[in-house]
């Protein structure tokens, strides 16, 4: 499959006529072939109007057909073969093996949501029986969730497959019954075209309505803002910077009809090293920490950007071991020239903060957009007094904070902004301190983990990839895992609706075999 520089508007493959743009190879700093046509305002409007047209048909298809569509997308992505991995690697600087793993993850996400769709648990089917003899009588009340409507998806630079065109937001929105309009990330245009065409083919294979999926190639923020402002769009999924996410939040709330935006933005993912854990294996922890920090050139939302311990010889030993481990790490190519420049600038600013010392660096810069890992250190008083130290540095940089005592460690925990993750390294000897930290950390983060590192986000039922602001714009949700589907649903109550007009999920004979809440009691279908 050759990349043509095209986008997808419903069933049509279209070449945008509002100018051209090109992909960029961050390793060679060279622009890549071919040129991509940019979407006009009409193209954006067409994709949205088609999505609106497709909505009622799509959401009312049998759940089995919706599930097969998700699985077929996975099949068509695999059909692209090595060309997808090679293009994604050239566009992102990410290694082939990582991208093969990411492709598997992408397909697993689609298949997990197919299972979620078949289960029907997401419909939250709830029935309250009529009580005609009661004073006043109670009507027959039945509730289910329905999809919100067409969803705009903005892919992430750092997951060209798993959080892009057919990534988690798209999979969960399609699973919910929402048509999707994706704005391709400029960092991986060719990858986007390949995957977009795979989704288009899957829609055709499965007899989906025209408009269930579109992929727009657009100039920077203009096309994105137009997409979010379009009246047909009813929700937004976004993964990226705090600035980018907030811009979409503002556009969405300024609409005549405001809509929810699920923006996953900014997190520094604190790691607390408790004394027992440091004493038991500080050197091994240091190696694990540096491996996690530099994985994927530090370009993970869950990158450990803050490490907190109690000042003393064990923390000094950890620091020395981390410095040594970091020194052994070579420079890695970052995803884009913009991300590379932002990293170099942010590291430069950090070096200038009073009380913050540069402890270690990785291998020095190579060709292209190569980034050098960096570890800084300061005491807790400095950290607590320096708001700039709460800002995420996207890349392989972290800050080690030394606390005088346990009270100061708790103060650091209390001071944190909202996070995707918070990590505790503890042994049985640390139980009391860990128990003291936990209530604060669960208020600050979407995921609290022990004795591991936060990079690596499992796609499963219990995963939460979310958290209080600024980690996300909506702490009530997750963008990874089965419950990501809940973001695109809302409840509707059906009161005394005639039996032959009831949706299947709410019929007396329960043809979907759903577990349902009936008069307040959970009933599991046979």
Active-site residue numbers? 264, 301
**Using CB under 8 A, which of the segments 81-89, 117-125, 222-230, 272-280 binds its own copies?**
117-125
H or E stretch at 70: helix 63-80
**Using CB under 8 A, which of the segments 223-231, 277-285, 357-365, 512-520 binds its own copies?**
512-520
Q: Contact with its own copies (CB under 8 A): which of 50, 88, 249, 378?
A: 249
Whichever of 125 and 198 has its CB closer to its own copies, that residue is 125
C-beta atoms surrounding 399 within 10 Å: 26
Site for its own copies in 128-157 (CB under 8 A): 128, 136, 138-139, 141-143, 146, 148-149
Angle at 458 between CA 85 and CA 419, to 5 degrees: 105
Proportion of the chain in helix, strand, coil states, percent, rounded to 5:
45, 20, 35
**Using CB under 8 A, which of the segments 156-164, 308-316, 327-335, 478-486 binds its own copies?**
478-486
CA distance 202 to 161: 17
Q: How far is the CB of 439 from its own copies (least distance, A)?
A: 5
Q: Contact with its own copies (CB under 8 A): which of 17, 65, 351, 495?
A: 495
In order of 22, 76, 411, the CA distances from 385 in angstroms are 44, 52, 12
Site for its own copies in 47-76 (CB under 8 A): 56, 60
Site string (421-440) toward its own copies, x via CB under 8 A: -----x----x--xx--xx-
Q: How far is the CB of 456 from its own copies (least distance, A)?
A: 7
Locate 318 and state its tokens.
Answer: 């950890």
Total length of the chain = 526
Whichever of 338 and 452 has its CB closer to its own copies, that residue is 452
* 351-360: Cβ within 8 A, 24+ apart: 351/376, 353/378, 353/382, 353/386, 353/388, 353/389, 354/382, 355/379, 355/381, 355/382, 355/386, 356/382, 356/386, 356/389, 356/399, 359/319, 359/322, 359/323, 359/400, 360/322, 360/323, 360/324, 360/326, 360/327
CA distance 159 to 146: 29
Whichever of 90 and 235 has its CB closer to its own copies, that residue is 235
Q: Does 414 bind its own copies (CB under 8 A)?
A: no
The answer to whether 167 and 191 are in contact (CB under 8 A) is no
Give the E-state strand segments of 132-211 in sequence order. Answer: 141-147, 151-154, 180-183
Site for its own copies in 251-280 (CB under 8 A): 253, 257-258, 260
Q: At what angle do helices 313-327 and 275-294 cross, to 10 degrees?
A: 20
Q: How far is the CB of 72 from its own copies (least distance, A)?
A: 21
Q: How far is the CB of 254 from its own copies (least distance, A)?
A: 10
Q: How far is the CB of 392 from its own copies (least distance, A)?
A: 16
Q: Does 445 bind its own copies (CB under 8 A)?
A: yes
Q: Contact with its own copies (CB under 8 A): which of 82, 348, 352, 520?
A: 520
Whichever of 379 and 486 has its CB closer to its own copies, that residue is 486
The answer to whether 188 and 88 are in contact (CB under 8 A) is yes
Q: Contact with its own copies (CB under 8 A): which of 373, 448, 485, 512?
A: 448
Q: Contact with its own copies (CB under 8 A): which of 468, 479, 485, 510?
A: 468
């Amino acid at each position: 499959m050759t990349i043509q520089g095209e986008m997808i508007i419903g069933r049509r493959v279209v070449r945008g006529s509002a100018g051209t743009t090109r992909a960029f190879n961050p390793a060679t700093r060279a622009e890549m072939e071919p040129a991509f046509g940019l979407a006009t305002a009409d193209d954006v409007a067409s994709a949205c109007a088609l999505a609106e047209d497709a909505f009622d048909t799509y959401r009312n298809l049998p759940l089995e057909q919706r599930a097969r569509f998700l699985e077929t997308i996975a099949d068509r992505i695999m059909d692209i073969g090595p060309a997808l991995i090679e293009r994604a690697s050239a566009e992102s600087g990410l290694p082939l093996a990582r991208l093969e793993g990411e492709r598997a993850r992408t397909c697993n996400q689609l298949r997990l949501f197919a299972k979620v769709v078949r289960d029907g648990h997401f419909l939250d089917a709830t029935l309250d029986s009529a009580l005609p003899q009661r004073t006043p009588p109670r009507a027959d009340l039945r509730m289910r969730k329905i999809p919100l409507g067409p969803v705009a998806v903005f892919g992430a630079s750092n997951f060209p497959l798993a959080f892009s065109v057919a990534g988690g937001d798209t999979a969960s929105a399609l699973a919910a019954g929402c048509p999707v309009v994706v704005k391709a990330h400029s960092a991986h245009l060719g990858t986007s075209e390949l995957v977009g065409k795979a989704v288009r083919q899957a829609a055709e294979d499965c007899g989906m309505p025209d408009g269930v999926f579109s992929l727009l190639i657009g100039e920077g923020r203009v096309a994105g803002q137009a997409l979010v402002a379009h009246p047909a769009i009813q929700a937004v999924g976004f993964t990226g910077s705090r600035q980018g996410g907030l811009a979409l939040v503002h556009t969405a709330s300024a609409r005549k009809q405001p809509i929810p935006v699920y923006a996953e933005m900014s997190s520094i993912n604190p790691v607390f090293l408790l004394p027992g854990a440091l004493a038991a294996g500080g050197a091994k922890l240091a190696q694990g920490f540096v491996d996690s920090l530099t994985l994927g050139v530090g370009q993970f939302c869950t990158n450990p950007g803050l490490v907190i311990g109690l000042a003393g010889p064990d923390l000094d030993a950890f620091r020395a071991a981390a410095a040594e481990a970091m020194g052994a790490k070579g420079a890695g190519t970052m995803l884009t020239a913009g991300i590379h420049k932002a990293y170099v600038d942010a590291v430069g600013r950090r070096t200038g903060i009073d009380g913050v010392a540069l402890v270690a660096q990785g291998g020095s810069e190579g060709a292209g957009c190569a980034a050098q890992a960096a570890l800084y250190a300061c005491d807790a008083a400095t950290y607590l007094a320096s708001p700039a130290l709460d800002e995420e540095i996207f890349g392989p940089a972290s800050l080690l904070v030394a606390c005088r005592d346990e009270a100061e460690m708790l103060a650091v925990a209390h001071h944190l902004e909202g996070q995707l993750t918070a990590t505790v390294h503890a042994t049985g000897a640390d139980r009391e301190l860990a128990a003291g930290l936990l209530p604060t950390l669960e208020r600050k983060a979407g995921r609290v983990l022990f004795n591991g590192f936060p990079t690596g986000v499992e796609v499963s039922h219990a995963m939460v990839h979310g958290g209080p602001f600024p980690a996300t714009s909506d702490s009530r949700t997750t963008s990874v895992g089965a419950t990501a589907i809940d973001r695109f649903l809302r409840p509707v109550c059906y009161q005394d609706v005639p039996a032959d007009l009831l949706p299947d999920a709410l019929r007396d004979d329960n043809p979907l075999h759903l577990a349902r809440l009936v008069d307040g009691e959970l009933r599991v279908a046979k």
